[in-house]
A and B are shown apart, each in its own frame.
Chain A
Amino acid sequence: MSAAAEVLALSLAELSSALAARRVSSREATEAALGRIAATDGRVGAFLAITAEQALAQAAAADERAARGARLGPLDGVPLAVKDLFLTRGIPTTAGSRILEGYLPPYDGTVVERLLAAGAVLLGKLNLDEFAMGSSTENSAYKPCRNPWDLARTPGGSSGGSAAALAARQAFGTLGTDTGGSIREPAAFCGVVGLKPTYGRVSRYGVIAFASSLDQPGPLGRTVEDAALLLQTIAGHDPKDMTSSARPVDDYRAGLEGGARGLKVGVPRAWLAEGVEAGVRRRVEEALAAYERLGATLIDVELPHTKYGIAAYYLLAPAEASSNLARYDGVRYGLRRGAGGALKELYGATRQAGFGAEPKRRIMLGTYALSAGYYDAYYLRAQKVRTLLRRDFERAFECCDVIAGPVTPAVAFRLGEKVTDPLAMYLADVFTVTCNLAALPGISLPCGLHPSERVPVGLQLIGRPFDEATLLRAARALEREAGPLPTPTGLEA
């Protein structure tokens, strides 16, 4: 293996130690990552913008700090990348949409500020489904993203680039956002760890809004420890986000190796019934058996209202999106068409040209669900379902510490397979939307390769509000037991 390839094989935590011990420089790690991106991203399509010059300058600054013994922390000098939904000053931020093509924000979002203040090196912006709407990154207005395990398959979405870049070893850690599964599903498809924090744990200021009561930024990493390190840096109250929690941030690394002995794992048996593909079910059941061997207790739980989750989600999320996307009107920034005519023409031409099919679909659905005469029957009723769902989980958490199940009903599908059937695409979110609706944290971690398809299967753990520490500890216990996945074979080095 070349020196660059050796560096790229390190986890974020391993790289951090190597940087601290000055066995590797940030410049080497950054050049290795940029080289890997240049060599592979033509085939993967994870990056929408690559900030090579800036990254190398950040790396140089990190190396200078390391030489003085003044490293800022575990992320100092570590090359990362973020979903193109995070506002980054002076770096194009598109939300995967033509309506923001070339848009240069004048500010950094809070989470980006925290990463930069920690000394992280920003490699660029990652591909996504347009405005975070989708489960395959096929809705990106720019280009599709491909799964490094099998380039004919999707990496999942909407944070497809965030998961693919990790699996392709283009970055040591990434950030995504999760509104209905958009971190956990691509993490499962690409065989990496993805964490959706509790709503309010991480600031949404500077994250382009899709559904304000459901969105949550979160980390993806090749290992559980990597995800914990990233979460540690980005979590915590932000006065600029009134929905962010003032609750103190736990030390996520402290209990990480605590193991699963005595852990009470709730299993909603209905989730493993029909509808889950056999190979996925087998790997999930094997993971549950592993937890028992590790000293955990499995407890059957019932979450009777999860069957209404998709219906509630696909009313609430589009409703909120229809309002959040109103600002993209051609007046102050972004694409402008139809100027010189009547106001309606400006709005109509700009949004017709700027939005892709899926945002348009959801704006219309959402506007309808909120309109007079339908508000009570759709939006209000969906909110009530949300309350019932939350109660299902509260009841389950009276006897469990975490709830375990599949992330998705099947493994990564092929590009083009579902994109013409939006409903089929929506139905696959059945296990992930419940977390967002109930404002709970959820993590996806690899639990093996599919027996015949040889692409990753993900296990989902859902935790109590603000109990990311238990989720991470439980995930780490399985990761230690199962060992790492093999290197993805879809890409040659």
Chain B
Amino acid sequence: MGVSDYEVVMGLEVHAQLLTQSKIFCGCSTAFGGEPNAHTCPICLALPGVLPSLNRKVVEFATRIGLALGCEVRKKSIWARKNYFYPDLPKGYQISQYELPICEGGGVPITIDGRERLVPLVRIHMEEDAGKNVHGVAADGGSGVDLNRAGVPLCEI
């Protein structure tokens, strides 16, 4: 068989930051830059005893994306925890969506070689971003953890 006998199929998983003022589960600023850990609070630092409070703008933005892309936008969607250990994930889990994401179906219209195509979407869900490990910044050459980005809202498309 030759190369022309194969069909290329590409899947894309795209994470898009939602441009809200505050993080997804707390009131901290989502502004880029800033001193490490300047935009943090007990919630996004995952101190003992804290609980998430959902930012309604995040749901609004995810809904608008879904409507724009012709998805079915669910009135009920479910939050789930993705459990793993890494220093930039302060809770030891990421709050994301697994079963019943907020949007399903729809598609992204593109034009290729003058022809209009619709790239079908499987789903869109909301989740929180992790922080950032910065290597070599500690006095002994070790790594530091900057949690400014932890809790910034994302859509996974």
Contacts and interface: CB of A to CB of B under 8 A. Distances in A.
B50 interface: yes
A205 B49 contact: yes
Contacts of B142: 339-340
Given A87-B48, A323-B83, A240 B53 contact: yes
Nearest to A212: B51
B87 A323 contact: no
Given A326-B83, A347-B85, A207 B49 contact: yes
Interface residues of B, number: 23
A239 B52 CA distance: 10
A109 to B, nearest CB: 6
Contacts of A93: 48
Interface stretch (B6-14, B39-47, B60-68, B115-123): B39-47
Most buried by A among B45, B48, B142: B48
Most buried by A among B46, B49, B85, B92: B49
Contacts of A322: 83
Interface stretch (A260-268, A291-299, A329-337): A329-337
B50 A205 contact: yes
Contacts of A343: 86-87
A323 B93 contact: yes
Contacts of A323: 81, 83, 92-93
Most buried by B among A204, A206, A339: A206
A424 to B, nearest CB: 30
B51 A208 contact: no
Contacts of B106: none
Contacts of A106: 42, 47
Contacts of A331: 87, 90, 145
Main secondary structure of the interface of B (DSSP, over half): loop
Interface string A76-117: 000000000011000001010000100101110100000000
B91 interface: yes
B91 A209 contact: no
Given A107-B42, A323-B81, A343-B87, A205 B51 contact: yes
Interface in A311-368: 322-323, 326-329, 331-333, 339-340, 343, 347
A300 interface: no
A329 B93 CA distance: 12
A246 interface: no
Contacts of B49: 86-87, 105, 109, 205-209
A240 B42 CA distance: 12
B133 to A, nearest CB: 10
A257 interface: no
Contacts of B53: 239-240, 242
A453 B46 CA distance: 46
Interface in B85-113: 85-87, 90-93
A14 interface: no
Contact of B48 (A95, A240, A329, A347): A95
A241 interface: yes
A105 B42 CA distance: 9
Contacts of B50: 205-206
A208 B93 CA distance: 16
B54 interface: yes
B92 A327 contact: yes
22 contacts: A93-B48, A100-B48, A106-B47, A205-B50, A206-B49, A207-B49, A209-B48, A240-B51, A242-B53, A243-B51, A323-B81, A323-B83, A326-B83, A327-B48, A327-B90, A329-B87, A331-B87, A332-B47, A332-B90, A333-B47, A343-B86, A347-B85
The 7 closest A-B pairs by CB, nearest first: A326-B92, A87-B49, A206-B49, A208-B48, A327-B46, A208-B49, A205-B51
Given A206-B50, A239-B53, A323-B93, 5 more contacts: A86-B49, A103-B48, A106-B42, A209-B51, A242-B53
